[in-house]
Structure formats: C-alpha cells, structure tokens
C-alpha cells in the first residue's frame, strides 16, 4: 500500500514539474519570436523532394515574400518546409524553422537561419498563429491538415483576428473544397462565410499578390 502511494505521489510531482517545463518552452519561444516582424507561416509535406514542382514553387514564393518585406516561418523540417526556409534564406530574409522533436521524419533542415526546438505540439501551434500575418498551405498530410483546420476554427470562432488563409495547388485541394461545399455547407454544418475564409491559388505570384492586397508591411 505504501509503495502504491509512493508511486501516486511521484506521478503527482512529475505532473507539477511538467507545468514548469511547458511555461519555460512558452517563454523561450515568445522571447525569440517577438523579434520577428511581418511573418508568413508556410505549411506542407515533409516528404516532398527537391525535384518536386511544389518544392520549387515554395522556394520561389519564399523569395517573393522576403523581397516584399516579409519573414518566413515553417515547421523547420524537410520537404516543403525546407524549400520555404531555403528560398527565404537565399533571398537574405528571416527564415524561421520551428522544429518539433519526433521519433521519425522530422529533422531540422539546414536552411533556417533561426531555429527553435519544441517538445510540445500545442505550444508550437500557438506560436505559428500568434506571429503570422498569413497562412499558406501547400500539399501535405495529417500535420498540414491539422494546421489548416486549427486556423480555420480560430478565425471562424473569432478567437484570433482574421488573416489570409491560402491553399496553394488547386489540383491537390479542389476535392477537399468540393466536399466542404457539397457536404458541410449543403447540410448546414458551416456557413457560406466560413468557406470564404479559404482562398486557392496555383502560382507563387498570385499568392504573393493576394497577401500584399490584405497585408501592408
């Protein structure tokens, strides 16, 4: 009985200390990112290779953003994230990589000139949205979808200010948009105004022009 109580007490102490680790990660992230101005968060698959068309378009988009006075924030890993950090760094801009510690796939890319390492997903997600003037979502998997719908929910419920939320790549995303319209909207699960929160473009120049139309830097 005493051994069981000891284990319970130890777990309780561990949970209490976890609160301080969470606080410390928040403080470090805010102190680092508070120096970043006019940032755009770019999301997409970690599995995209440099020869992929979306990788090349992401590099071009990041260069345009930097030349227009923006910083670029990514998840800091390979694929689309690497392409965005590479384009931003080579254009001489601020290129932030917010890496999450995972047992596979996610390793910091070498192109971010400011790296932040996270243990907790939810802290990283707060930082993405807190310091972004716009979200650009390229083809990706579960993590990319998570960031997309997190932002949509926060904007829809007015928990954060509205900002441009752009899907890049109509061939990839059109099926999702059709489903949102034909199922969610048609069945009254969302409103027409909720669909209007999303814009879709194919070319970096069009994405950049849309952001510049709504964001002045």
The token duo for 37 is 């101005």
The token duo for 185 is 């909207």
pLDDT of residue 8: 47
pLDDT of residue 132: 95
pLDDT of residue 161: 92
pLDDT of residue 48: 96
The residue length of the chain stands at: 217
The token duo for 43 is 């999301």
Task: Count, in order, helices (H) and strands (E) of the chain.
Answer: 8, 7
* Spatial distance between the Cα atoms of 30 and 36, rounded to a whole number of angstroms: 10
Q: For 185, which DSSP code?
A: I
The pTM score is 0.90
pLDDT of residue 59: 98
pLDDT of residue 104: 66
Domains of the chain (ranges, CATH numbers): 2-214 (3.40.50.450)
Q: pLDDT in tens for each of the 217 residues of the chain? A: 545 454 444 556 677 788 889 999 999 999 999 999 999 999 999 999 999 999 999 999 999 999 999 999 999 999 999 999 999 999 999 999 999 887 665 678 999 999 999 999 999 999 999 999 999 999 999 999 999 999 999 999 999 999 999 999 999 999 999 999 999 999 999 999 999 999 999 999 999 999 999 877 7
> Is 54 within 8 Å of 139 (Cβ atoms)?
yes
In this predicted model, what pLDDT tens digit does every residue of 65-114 receive, in sequence order? 999 999 999 999 999 999 999 999 999 999 999 998 876 656 789 999 99
* Spatial distance between the Cα atoms of 165 and 134, rounded to a whole number of angstroms: 6
């Amino acid at each position: 009985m005493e051994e069981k109580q000891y284990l319970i007490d130890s777990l309780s102490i561990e949970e209490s200390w976890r609160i301080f680790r969470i606080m410390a990660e928040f403080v470090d992230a805010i102190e680092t990112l508070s120096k970043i101005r006019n940032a755009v968060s770019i999301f997409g698959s970690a599995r995209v290779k440099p020869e992929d068309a979306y990788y090349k378009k992401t590099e071009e988009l990041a260069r345009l953003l930097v030349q227009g006075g923006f910083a670029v924030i990514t998840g800091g890993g390979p694929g689309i994230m690497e392409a965005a950090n590479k384009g931003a760094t080579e254009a001489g801009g601020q290129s932030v990589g917010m890496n999450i510690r995972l047992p596979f796939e996610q390793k910091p890319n070498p192109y971010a000139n400011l790296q932040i390492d996270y243990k907790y997903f939810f802290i990283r997600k707060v930082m993405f949205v807190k310091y972004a003037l716009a979200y650009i979502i390229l083809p990706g998997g579960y993590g990319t979808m998570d960031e997309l719908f997190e932002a949509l929910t926060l904007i829809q419920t007015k928990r954060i200010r509205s900002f441009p939320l752009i899907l890049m790549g109509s061939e990839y995303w059109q099926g999702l948009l059709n489903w949102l319209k034909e199922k969610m909207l048609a069945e009254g699960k969302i409103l027409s105004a909720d669909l209007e929160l999303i814009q879709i473009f194919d070319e970096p120049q069009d994405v950049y022009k849309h952001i510049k139309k709504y964001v002045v830097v």
